Amino acid sequence: MVDTSRRTLEPQLVSPFPAPVARMLADLNDADPARVLPIVLEALSAVCGAVGVRVSFSDVEERSLVVWDAAGAALTSRTHRMDVEGSIHGKVYRSGRTERAEVDLLPAILTPVMARSERLGVLEVVFDAPPQEWAEAVVASAGLLLGYVVVVGDRWSDEFQVARRRQDMNLAAEVQWVSLPLAAFKTDRISLAGALEPAYEIAGDLYEYSCGREELVAGVFDAMGHGITAARLSDLAVAAHRNARRNGRDLSGQAGFIHDTLVGTFGKEGFVTGQLVTIDLGDPGRSRLVNAGHPAPFLHRKGGRPRQLRPEIDLPFGMPFEGGYRIQPLELASGDRLTLFSDGVVEARPDGGALFSEARLARCLRETRKLSPREAARNIIASVREHRAADLADDATMLIMDVL
């Protein structure tokens, strides 16, 4: 006789998702990293009745989109790259909006692959006849799913990182990129994006942010020197900032802990300029900042012109001095755009040429005001790169934040 007592007591697990979605999620959980992308694409193709599905991801500098094949591998030849500027795929990537298009004379739907406002690439779904309206929503949802899958999968595989690179990255840059948060983030109260150049040789600059229930804490750091020593300095500064924040220290305590950590580790041999900002999400007028020897931020109010603030400037983190860091009021309002940047932005210059300058940065901020923080940051950093007309002599970093 079969004993069924245990069987009847066991809870019946029923997925709240439709069966195809539940199967796909289970398959994703068990799949090798190389199979993750094909699983999503195959499921999407079956649901939509597509005749072709492919995805492309941006390179590190956001200049081109690299096409991946149906087997989940990047296609490395130049013919499998699409420019971010001047292509329909690039338009979808830049705008973050789903578009209907024609691919090889067939109707298609293109949608951004993204996690919140962090753009990663473009999903392309091709049909043999004009797709029905519901297909756009399905494809857009698949783009979001792929975004989160890639962000999570990036933690256990190098596949995505390697495919995004057009050249070797130096060790200092590797240290920096590991420490960076996602390049963009958005809620219904805040939208932000960071950008950093030169992508393959950065050494000393970092941006950082964390969004809590009631406030956003953000910062930009610029370590003295270049190379791996500078990378270690800024990396330690960011780690100290995170540790202090996660241990419940207020803005003053965070600044002090960064300073004490650098002094205790490097003595008088290293310092980091930085700017810390705490934005009160419930009442932006009560926001605060700390300036540790860093260029003052720009504030661009809705309908106005960007102006550079004039905060009190304390010494850099890690440079011994008596006293503490001053917490200064930062009166923000809905519709404001706040831009933090490193000196490598305004001091970029071609050999024998003029500085990029605060005036030129202000003009760029004005010209990109209607763009999202992500697209504004990409455009401005591209302008800095173009002005330099060669490899940047110093890191150039930006963090743009919109109060919604």
Same domain, 146 and 190: no
Spatial neighbors of 303 by CB under 8 A, at least 6 apart, are: 335
Question: How high is the pLDDT of residue 91?
Answer: 97
Domain span at residue 156?
Answer: 19-162
Same domain, 337 and 198: yes
Question: How high is the pLDDT of residue 390?
Answer: 63
> Per-residue pLDDT tens for 337-378?
999 999 999 999 887 789 999 999 999 999 999 999 999 999
In angstroms, the CA 139 to CA 258 distance is 45
Neighbours of 156 (CB within 10 A): 8
In angstroms, the CA 238 to CA 219 distance is 9
Q: Is residue 252 part of a domain?
A: yes
In angstroms, the CA 21 to CA 43 distance is 8
In angstroms, the CA 345 to CA 209 distance is 20
Residue 368 in contact with residue 195, Cβ under 8 Å?
no
| Mean pLDDT of the region 56-83 | 82
Q: Is the pLDDT of residue 6 over 60?
A: no
Same domain, 108 and 186: no
Residue 2 pLDDT class (50, 70, 90 cuts): very low
Question: How high is the pLDDT of residue 7?
Answer: 45
> Per-residue pLDDT tens for 174-233?
988 889 999 999 999 999 999 998 878 877 899 999 999 999 999 999 999 888 999 999
- Report the relative pairing of strands 118-126 and 99-103 from DSSP bridges: unpaired
Question: How high is the pLDDT of residue 268?
Answer: 87
Same domain, 154 and 173: no
Burial 315-347 (b: 16+ CB within 10 A, else e): ebbbbeeeeebeebebebeeebbbbbbbbbbbb
Domain tally, the chain: 2
Give the DSSP letter string of 157-202.
-SHHHHHT-SS---HHHHHHHHH---SEEE-SSEEEEEEEESTTT-
Domain stop point among 137, 162, 187: 162
Residue with tokens 């690299």: 66
Q: Is the pLDDT of residue 12 over 60?
A: no
Same domain, 197 and 155: no
What CATH number is attached to the domain comprising 245?
Answer: 3.60.40.10
